[in-house]
Amino acid sequence: MDEHVDMNRLSFDIPKKVTNMFDPIAMDTIVESACEIIKEHLKAHLVPIGEKKRERIENFVTQTSPQFRHLLRHASKELERLKPNLTDAELERALYEIKRAFDERCRKDQEDLIAKLDDVTLAQNDYSRLFQENVQRISDANSSVLTEYIVRRKVIISLLERGLRKRDDGKFNIESYMHNLVYPMGTTSEDQAYEVHNLWLLDEKLAYCSYISSDVPFNNDRSEGRADILILDSPVAISDNKNDGTAFDTIILFELKRPMRNDYSPGDNPIDQLFGYAEKLKSGTAKDKNGRTVKVSETTKFYLYAVCDITPTLVPILHRNGFSETPDTLGYYNFNSNYNAYFEVLSYDKVLLDAQKRNRVLFEKLGV
């Protein structure tokens, strides 16, 4: 230390890291060595704290945030450095940062592994060793992404279930609550990331359609009618520079209503609303945001969905329009040949139960 002190003996000229053979020691080396000695000296005090912290982290990633569970195996040193007595929010943020760094290392490892496995001179034993060393870590990292997605689905289903309950003021949530839960209002698939919507609550296949708009008026005119959710299958007539006049093969329309609404009338109900939207599209008067006509042919298939509770004022409207009850008695369906439209009324109970059933096996496998 005397050899590396400055003239005023106020600091050292020891490099932070060893950079060449002429730097026999570095501050990082000194600090690491000192920490090991200090840990050993304070072992009787630090071990119980470390065990308690480890137990807390294990419980947290098992019961609250399983997307971080793989860090217990692959990032134990980083977990050891976490401060004890973190709040749940602080712990989740810290785990997220560790996971992000771990994911970055995994991406680099995948690239390195592929490069090494492409080496034709690599011996079979070395090939097997490299593969086994990396595949488990890479698999665990990829599994955590799936885990995070499944946990998010669990949360969304819980929000849907809570949204169907009466609020403290004795009223039910307004339509916009349910609408924004499924797809943010006033947006389209062109300006929203895939992860922000929850169309899987209604149908898993909807996420793969070409164009989706949510509460966007026809002709970009707020005085015009607008479907709650409009889904167009290829070609994408609404998106920029893609309306070449080709007719759509499939158009899907959703109308969502406030839970337990019971004031429907012959002039104000989701059945007539959806048929009205279909008529406008079939008439050739609906235009895209660039003012070009949304082309519909005689063979265009319409799928119309009303998402609402089936209350006493809605039932006679369904009967007058020739709807039949679904086998589970939680909805109604009909096919209207004049519109070439399959029409289904989905009660919120049906939406919730079906979503729970479709995802139950994922939740059970994950233990959430």
Q: What is the DSSP letter of 119?
A: -
CB 97 within 8 A of CB 71: no
Closest CA to 212 of 246, 250, 244: 250
Least confident range of 162-171, 198-207, 263-272, 276-285: 198-207
Mean pLDDT of 148-170: 85
Nearest-angstrom CA–CA distance, 52 and 58? 10
Indicate if the pLDDT at residue 290 is higher than 70: no
Least confident range of 232-246, 290-304, 330-344, 353-367: 232-246
- H or E stretch covering 160: helix 124-163
What is the distance of C-alpha 224 from the center of its chain? 32
pLDDT of amino acid 238: 38
Nearest-angstrom CA–CA distance, 331 and 43? 65
Give the position of tokens 């592929």.
Answer: 114
Q: What is the DSSP letter of 265?
A: B
Considering the chain, what is the average pLDDT of its residues? 82
pLDDT of amino acid 241: 39
Indicate if the pLDDT at residue 333 is higher than 90: yes
Mean pLDDT of 127-156: 70
Mean pLDDT of 299-304: 92
Model confidence band, residue 235 (pLDDT cutoffs 50, 70, 90): very low
Model confidence band, residue 208 (pLDDT cutoffs 50, 70, 90): low
CB 137 within 8 A of CB 110: no
Strand arrangement of the beta sheet that strand 211-214 belongs to = 187-188, 211-214, 229-232, 248-256, 296-307, 341-346, 331-336, 324-325
Indicate if the pLDDT at residue 94 is higher than 90: yes
